[in-house]
A = this chain, B = another copy of it.
């Protein structure tokens, strides 16, 4: 499959006119062919016009049709075969097995949303039948369903070139909700983006859907992204990336004549609390698990454990020695891009130069380009509480152990934390009272709380929450992973006294979709 370097705007492949975007193999710093040219406002205009004209018909496709479309996207991605794996590996420096696993996750995610679409629970159908005899006033017939909010702009992430990118979770959930999707490809993996974008467009064609259902745009810098968010036909935004990037998009969305929701997943340091009994009983095993989670994928996960919190003492000292020893042998890994590597190095240097942080140890230095070397620091709780810099995310395999004088200080640190994607508790039976006391604070701070696990690894399922209070995300009511992600792109509409022939299929009296509706306050069996 030959890459063309072109944007995909509906049915057309269109060359940009702007700045050159070249993928770089981060393991060699070699630029990869072809060159992609960034788009301009006219391309945003063209893609939004198509998306808008596709919206009304796409959002009313049958559940079966839409589910089939999602499944075909998965098939088309699989049909790309090794070409996709080769290109994604070259563009990201990630191991081949990881990319293969991520492809599996991406296709599973699309098929999971197909299952969700067919089940139709997201329609949240509510029926309050007419009560013409009611006193003092009759009640009208009222029926509610959820409809798609409108075309959605999706911003691919650098660290998951498949699962959080062109046909990743944001795209899958928006398409499932009935929203056309406009993706701004991440400039770090344009070739992967083109391949996947073509797979989506083949699925659009195979299902005879209007071409505006999907477009793929290129553009470095923030100009095209802001132009997309500012277009009045865009009605919601999905983003995974930096805090500054997410905030910039959110501000642009709020400054519109008609503000729109932005679902930005931004920044999390994922605190891990090590309780006394667990630390005492299995500090060595915890250290192993910790270093494995810390260094997985060069630490480039949103849920990377960037903070360990424990009471100081002998058990923590033993853990620290074990973790430091473990870390010493961990190989450096190629980071995703030269820019990410530079930012990581700067973050590590800032900690190394911070008098409140102490370097405990580091992993092996790498040979070659963009090698991320793992680091472990420690700080006293009172210093952590006094210095906001110690709470900043360092994107990569670096973590900070916060040593607390007592349980009260553990609580203080927990309450001091900003919003997080995850919080983790390592505990044994004897730690349950302390854990129970800490739990309310963690529920207020995090979208997911784990016991005796590690936060890297985010299951695509119904119960997952990959979200959390600001700055973990821009909207704590939402998750960007798991089936509840579809709820972000829906809004309710109530139909009053409609004749059956004018009602949407989900609401007609005969209930042909066999939904378990809420009728007169009762859930149907």
Q: How far is the CB of A418 from chain B (nearest CB, A)?
A: 8
Minimum CB distance partner of A445 in chain B: B493
Choose among B144, B465, B475, B495 the residue that contacts A494 (Cβ–Cβ < 8 A). Answer: B465
- CB pair A435–B502 under 8 Å, yes or no, is yes
State which residues 442-496 of A face B: CB under 8 Å. 443-444, 446-453, 457, 459, 461-465, 467, 469-471, 474-477, 479, 484, 490-496
- CB pair A463–B523 under 8 Å, yes or no, is no
- CB pair A258–B469 under 8 Å, yes or no, is yes
- CB pair A432–B502 under 8 Å, yes or no, is yes
Determine, out of A32-40, A81-89, A132-140, the stretch whose residues face the partner at the interface: A132-140
- CB pair A136–B101 under 8 Å, yes or no, is yes
Which of chain B's residues have a CB closer than 8 A to the CB of A259? 250, 470, 474
| Cα A259 to Cα B147 with chains together (Å) | 26
Which of chain B's residues have a CB closer than 8 A to the CB of A443? 147, 493
Q: How far is the CB of A122 from chain B (nearest CB, A)?
A: 12
- CB pair B419–A518 under 8 Å, yes or no, is no
A143 within 8 A of B: yes
Minimum CB distance partner of A112 in chain B: B521
A142 within 8 A of B: yes
Minimum CB distance partner of A521 in chain B: B462
| Cα A469 to Cα B494 with chains together (Å) | 13
Can you list 24 A-B contacts (CB < 8 A)? A60-B440, A119-B521, A126-B463, A128-B463, A128-B464, A139-B461, A140-B453, A142-B461, A142-B463, A149-B477, A150-B444, A250-B254, A250-B259, A258-B469, A258-B470, A432-B499, A443-B493, A446-B493, A448-B494, A450-B497, A451-B502, A453-B496, A477-B492, A479-B492
| Cα A418 to Cα B259 with chains together (Å) | 12
Which of chain B's residues have a CB closer than 8 A to the CB of A292? none
> Given A121-B523, A492-B465, A497-B452 in contact, is the A459-B140 Cβ separation under 8 Å?
yes
Minimum CB distance partner of A150 in chain B: B444
Q: How far is the CB of A273 from chain B (nearest CB, A)?
A: 13
A127 within 8 A of B: yes
- CB pair A496–B448 under 8 Å, yes or no, is yes
A367 within 8 A of B: no
Q: Interface digits, A421-449 against B, CB 8 Å rule (1 contact, 0 not)?
A: 00000000000100110011001101111
- CB pair B477–A491 under 8 Å, yes or no, is yes
Which of chain B's residues have a CB closer than 8 A to the CB of A467? 491-492
Choose among B444, B449, B453, B501 the residue that contacts A432 (Cβ–Cβ < 8 A). Answer: B501
- CB pair A490–B502 under 8 Å, yes or no, is no
A56 within 8 A of B: yes
Q: Interface digits, A495-514 against B, CB 8 Å rule (1 contact, 0 not)?
A: 11111011000000000000
> Given A258-B469, A439-B502, A502-B435 in contact, is the A492-B447 Cβ separation under 8 Å?
yes
> Given A451-B499, A499-B451 in contact, is the A477-B126 Cβ separation under 8 Å?
no
| Cα A261 to Cα B463 with chains together (Å) | 23
A516 within 8 A of B: yes
| Cα A436 to Cα B484 with chains together (Å) | 31
Which of chain B's residues have a CB closer than 8 A to the CB of A451? 495-499, 502
